[in-house]
Amino acid sequence: MGLQVTDIDRELDQARSEGPVRDIVIPPCPELLTALQLEMRQTDPDPAEVTRIAGSDVAMAAALMRMANSPLYSRARPANTVAEAVTMLGLGQAAAILTGFLARSTIRVNSPLVEHFWETSTRRSLAMAYMARQLYGVDAEVAQTCGLFMHVGIPVMLQGVRGYAGTLAEAMARQDRSFTETENTVHRTDHAVVGAIVARTWFLPPVIAFAIRLHHDFTVLRVSSIPAGVRNLVALAAVAEHLVADYEGVQAQTEWTRFGPACLSYLQIGESEVELWIDTLHPMFEAVVLA
């Protein structure tokens, strides 16, 4: 019997209760996000309630309107009210945008090493949502949320772990070992574990927490005891990361060179499709401007 999600649950519980993550402050889930999640879990979510939540914070309402009227969602006419923005975007997309705003507002990033963290995360989330729509049986909104939170452990560790900025710089520079190996050598934990705990604390779907925990472990693509939904997200995240890095001019990552072909093979995607997606996604990436 291979690795099970119950094993991951146990590992995260242990890390949080008695391991190195015990003393890291995990930001609590914002109340507005809790309310939004509650509504979106209803069988028939009420657009009026999502509009009320969006409009209860002026900055959040403005962010939703700005996104709805951005080149990302080129509409024949602009949205003039929050209610119109929710209607034009659709509930799932509106909820994803509001989740992104609340995450950025709650988890601040003040480090030149990851200066554009949320822009990159937003691009990754858009890429994952777009690719999910091209594949059979992958929930695009789950993929979008997963992309947004995939590296959330990094800013949380920057805020809460002494010396992590130096570790981050080293992890980004080293080619001889993986990012998480460098983190674990110094801190006995890594951003994948911390990010998964953030996802659980924020009541994101379990499939997202598991994918975040495993997103640097590509051996799981061959582990049938891990749900296909989790493995899909792990593979999609790697492809999205590659596409965003290409757009942002980041040098080719060792991880992609080593495991990219396995991720494409798992998703049954050819290089030609990836080239087509680059053409589609680059204008979407360009449209990401976060205030």
pTM for the structure as a whole: 0.94
pLDDT digits (tens, 9 = 90+) for 26-51: 999 999 999 999 999 999 999 999 99
For residue 4, give the 3-state DSSP assignment. coil
Residues in the chain: 291
pLDDT digits (tens, 9 = 90+) for 122-158: 999 999 999 999 998 899 999 999 999 999 999 999 9
What is the residue-wise DSSP string for 245-278? HHHHTPPPPHHHHHHHHHHHHHHT--HHHHHHHH
Which residue type sits at 131?
A: M
Q: Which DSSP state fits 31?
A: H
pLDDT band (50, 70, 90) for residue 239 = very high
Of 109, 84, 80, 108, nearest to 94 by C-alpha is: 84
180 HSE (CA, 13 A, CB side): 17
Taking the alpha carbons of 167, 181, 24, 150 in that order, is the dihedral positive or negative? Answer: positive
pLDDT digits (tens, 9 = 90+) for 171-219: 988 888 889 999 999 999 999 999 999 999 999 999 999 999 999 999 9
What is the residue-wise DSSP string for 133-147? HHSTT--HHHHHHHH
